[in-house]
Amino acid sequence: MHDDGIPSLSGPAAHILSMAPPSNPFVDGPPLKIRNVTVRGNKRTSPTLFDNELQSAYSATTFGGVMESLNAAALELRAFGIFDSVDILLEKTADGTRNETDVVITVKESRMLSLYAGVESSGAEGTANTKCTLTNPLGHAEKIELSAAHGQYGSDGQNFSYRRPKFLGRPWWFTASAANEVQVHERFSSFREKFRGGTVSVSDYNGVHD
């Protein structure tokens, strides 16, 4: 202990302190907390989708921590593939409170409906194909695809798929699909193949859970 009464460190404790990494002025910068978040341009997108991506930013307590978390949230929002643009700005609070900030997120949602129609040939049969894709129709970054095909010799098929990211707020995909298909081989033989079925799965971004 020094003569002024302030305890001094020696031995192992002093060694640990001397080996501590220097503070990062960006992460350990001025204190800052998010007070309010305003989202603009989300005509279809659920507020819950934004809220889930902002959890780290809500918990941040420094300027650097808030900025780092907001940058990460912007990357995740863009990765959904449902926005043409994502911009995040910090603004002063209405009463000018220090160490607090308001956040304004401005997005431009991508077009919801996409249609395709075309003719393909497999060599054995020409097929007319149509596909309708809905992007983010329910506001949770899901993609719904409906497709139909009709062959010149009677083959037929209808397919449906639903795919949603961040299922239950986790890094999981929820996928559901259904198909109804008839393959006609009567040009070369006397039989038809019929298939009808569906699948439901929950997977992480690397593999399937169930």
Q: Which residue has the higher pLDDT, 143 or 10?
A: 143
Structure tokens at 208: 């399937």
pLDDT digit string, tens, across residues 115-156: 999 988 766 677 889 999 999 999 999 999 999 988 777 788
Is 4 a residue whose pLDDT tops 80? no
**Taking a C-beta distance cutoff of 8 angstroms, is the pair 173, 183 a contact?**
no
Q: Are strands 83-91 and 192-204 parallel, antiparallel or unpaired?
A: unpaired
Q: Give the model's confidence band at 92: pLDDT under 50 very low, under 70 low, under 90 confident, else very high.
A: very high
d(CA 173, CA 165): 5
pLDDT digit string, tens, across residues 157-185: 899 999 999 998 888 999 999 999 887 76
Domain boundaries, given as residue ranges, for the chain = 23-109, 113-204
The gap between the terminal CA atoms of the chain, to the nearest Å, is 62
Residue type for position 149? A
**Taking a C-beta distance cutoff of 8 angstroms, is the pair 174, 191 a contact?**
no
Which CATH homologous superfamily contains domain 23-109? membrane protein fhac (3.10.20.310)
3-state SS assignment for residue 135: strand
